[in-house]
Amino acid sequence: MSDPAGPAAKKLFIKTYGCQMNVYDSQRMAEAMGAEGYVLTEDQAEADMVLLNTCHIREKAAEKLYSDLGRLKPLKAARPDLKIGVAGCVAQAEGAEIIRRMPLVDLVVGPQTYHRLPAMLRGEAPAILTDFPEEDKFDHLPERRATRRAPAAFLTVQEGCDKFCAFCVVPYTRGAEVSRPVARIVHEARDLVARGVREITLLGQNVNGWHGIGEDGREWGFGRLIRALGDIEGLDRIRYTTSHPNDMADDLIAAHRDVPQLMPYLHLPVQSGSDRILKAMNRRHTADQYLRLIDRIREARPDMMLTSDFIVGFPGETDQDHDATLRLIEQVGFGTAFSFKYSPRPGTPAYDRPEVESAVADARLQELQALLTRQQKATQQAMVGRTLRVLFEKSGRMTGQMVGKSDYLHSVFVDAPEARIGDLAKVRILETAANSLRGELSA
Ligand code: SAH
Ligand code: SF4
Ligand code: F3S
């Protein structure tokens, strides 16, 4: 146990579904288990413990858990001492039901209780923990210990959601909105930078709703937090996701003008372009308010690339509503976007509302995605000939090739045999591929 890399080390396999917050939580769970002598493995077959960190956002996402658990049956039968844990948002939503349906599961732990995972494993805490405890899990997790880290990292600053959009499970699976304190965030950011991180993406379900008491004793909003992080020497890039349009405060928009490290990229989900549907979704803004917000953001940062999320086939959506969404997309011009067919989720206000016919929703999704793909291609094409900064994150498949991200979050492949991971290079873009760009080092 004292030598985690030694032959006695136990192996932990983690599979992560869902959003970036789950990716972050998986890292923190791995660290918590590391303190118990577990090391990560990529090979499920050799694992002593399998942890599935799940997503509940759409029906398909939740069903994946059960098919993956089904596939684990032979492994558990061959090695009864194998521990199987379910974490994340399905764990929170379904709790004990998971073990009833799949008795091979040993532990069920929600997103706000996973700091107790080691105690659960030792039998010192219940095998099902899905409450929203008073204590802050971050106070009980081990310090992030890895000595050297990849150049781009996530940092959760806010969790939970009080918005209650009519279709969404997040307020129920993640709980009420909570902001982490400034000092903790700044400490974690500095620590990441000391370990080689040059880019931090601040995470939250409503990240721009973050607020707290600052180092000066005053109430800070998210824009002020970003300014404070901008003072950290060696932190070259700051990003954040996901934002709600109603929380885009003036100071945050101004930070996009004033803070050079803040990247010109904003994911701002709108879901629909129809006022009627926006109202039924409880989004609490109109299409026009969204468009005027985009204008103000682009005034502050003219090269801002915008991305979004859309739901098609929300209950009550007509052809006219769908056309309004297409018009909004045309007016904004998105760099890329995620679009989903509406999935009714138990426990949400829209669950019982009459559904749009499935084939109609499918056709609308296709039409919407075709438009978004055209915009994505045009955005990428417009990068050709430009010189962009690229942060190299890994080597490519070809010898001497590096892969990194531009300021606009495009993946860029570059022939750069001398370069190292973590270099922030100037790259001239030569051509675009399906989902990436190719470029050459520029002087
Ligand atoms: N907090 C973020 C989104 C979290 S969920 C926000 O407010 O934008 C990510 C995306 O999943 C949402 O933006 C929405 O487009 C999609 N989504 C959420 N619930 C859904 C459902 N029931 N059916 C289909 N898509 C859904
Ligand atoms: Fe879900 Fe709406 Fe909250 Fe986003 S703002 S997490 S879509 S309830
Ligand atoms: Fe899914 Fe939970 Fe994230 S439902 S999208 S993993 S907050």
Q: Ligand 2 center to residue 156 CA distance, Å?
A: 16
- CATH assignment of the domain containing 412: 2.40.50.140
Q: Given ligand 2 and candidates 56, 206, 277, 283, which is best to mutate, with the most ligand atoms within 8 Å of its CB?
A: 206
Cα distance between residue 223 and residue 226, in whole Å: 5
**Which has the closest alpha carbon to 86: 35, 171, 15, 168?**
15
Cα distance between residue 85 and residue 340, in whole Å: 29
Compute CA 23 distance to the chain's CA centroid, rounded to the nearest angstrom.
7
State whether 401 and 376 are in the same domain: no
Torsion sign across C-alpha atoms 46, 51, 55, 59: positive
State whether 17 and 162 are in the same domain: no
Task: Output the CA–CA distances (angstroms, integers) from residue 213 to 88, 188, 191, 217, 218, in the order listed.
Answer: 29, 17, 21, 6, 5
Identity at 376, one-letter amino acid code: Q
> Residue 164 CA: which ligand 2 atom is closest?
8
State whether 282 and 356 are in the same domain: yes
Contact 194, 225 (CB under 8 A): no
Task: Output the CA–CA distances (angstroms, integers) from residue 236 to 155, 201, 261, 353, in the order listed.
Answer: 15, 11, 5, 47
Contact 168 CB / ligand 1 (< 6 Å): yes
Q: Ligand 3 center to residue 152 CA distance, Å?
A: 21
> Looking at residue 3, what is its pLDDT?
47
- CATH assignment of the domain containing 233: 3.80.30.20
Contacts of 406 (CB under 8 A, 6+ apart): 383, 388, 389, 390, 412, 427, 437
State whether 232 and 279 are in the same domain: yes
Return the ligand number nearest the Cα of 18.
3
**Which has the closest alpha carbon to 178: 202, 139, 204?**
204
Contact 173 CB / ligand 3 (< 6 Å): yes
Please, what are the averages of pLDDT over each run of 10 residues along the chain (443 residues)? 59 96 94 92 95 96 93 95 96 95 96 94 92 84 76 96 97 95 96 96 97 94 98 98 97 98 98 98 98 98 98 98 98 98 97 97 98 98 98 95 98 96 97 96 90
Return the ligand number nearest the Cα of 314.
1
Contact 21 CB / ligand 3 (< 6 Å): yes
Residue 332 belongs to a domain: yes
> Looking at residue 62, what is its pLDDT?
86
CA angle 386, 304, 25 (to 5 degrees): 105
Cα distance between residue 390 and residue 152, in whole Å: 12
State whether 123 and 217 are in the same domain: no
Residue 3 belongs to a domain: no
Residue where one domain finishes, among candidates 83, 108, 134? 134
State whether 219 and 309 are in the same domain: yes
Residue 1 belongs to a domain: no
Residue where one domain finishes, among candidates 347, 381, 415? 381
> Residue 22 CA: which ligand 3 atom is closest?
6
Strands (E), 17-134: 38-40, 49-54, 83-87, 107-109, 128-129
Burial class (CB in 10 A: 0-12, 13-18, 19+), 48: middle
Contact 345 CB / ligand 1 (< 6 Å): yes
Residue where one domain finishes, among candidates 111, 134, 157? 134
Q: Ligand 3 center to residue 1 CA distance, Å?
A: 33
Identity at 150, one-letter amino acid code: A
Q: Work out how many domains the chain is built from and give that number.
A: 3
Total-model pTM = 0.95
State whether 349 and 218 are in the same domain: yes
> Looking at residue 7, what is its pLDDT?
53
Cα distance between residue 106 and residue 82, in whole Å: 9
State whether 220 and 368 are in the same domain: yes
State whether 315 and 368 are in the same domain: yes
- CATH assignment of the domain containing 91: 3.40.50.12160
Contact 240, 202 (CB under 8 A): yes
Q: Ligand 3 center to residue 352 CA distance, Å?
A: 22
Residue 368 belongs to a domain: yes
> Looking at residue 141, what is its pLDDT?
85
Identity at 37, one-letter amino acid code: G
Residue 310 belongs to a domain: yes
**In terms of residue numbers, what domain contains 391?**
387-441
**Which has the closest alpha carbon to 245: 199, 289, 195?**
289
**Which has the closest alpha carbon to 269: 247, 252, 239?**
247
Return the ligand number nearest the Cα of 309.
1
CA angle 67, 71, 75 (to 5 degrees): 150
Residues lining ligand 2, judged by CB closer than 6 Å? 161, 163-165, 168, 170-171, 205-206, 244
State whether 115 and 167 are in the same domain: no
Return the ligand number nearest the Cα of 338.
1
Contact 89 CB / ligand 3 (< 6 Å): yes
Identity at 428, one-letter amino acid code: R
Residue 5 belongs to a domain: no
Question: What is the radius of gyration, based on Cα positions, of the chain?
Answer: 23
State whether 344 and 411 are in the same domain: no
Instruction: Give backbone dihedrals phi and psi of 196, rounded to 5 degrees, phi first.
Output: 100, 0
Residue 2 belongs to a domain: no
Contacts of 137 (CB under 8 A, 6+ apart): 112, 113, 114, 115
User: What tokens were used for 346?
Assistant: 């138990």
Q: Given ligand 1 and candidates 21, 170, 248, 309, which is best to mutate, with the most ligand atoms within 8 Å of its CB?
A: 309
For residue 192, is it left (φ>0), alpha (ψ between -120 and 50) or beta?
Answer: alpha
State whether 159 and 28 are in the same domain: no
Contact 339 CB / ligand 1 (< 6 Å): no
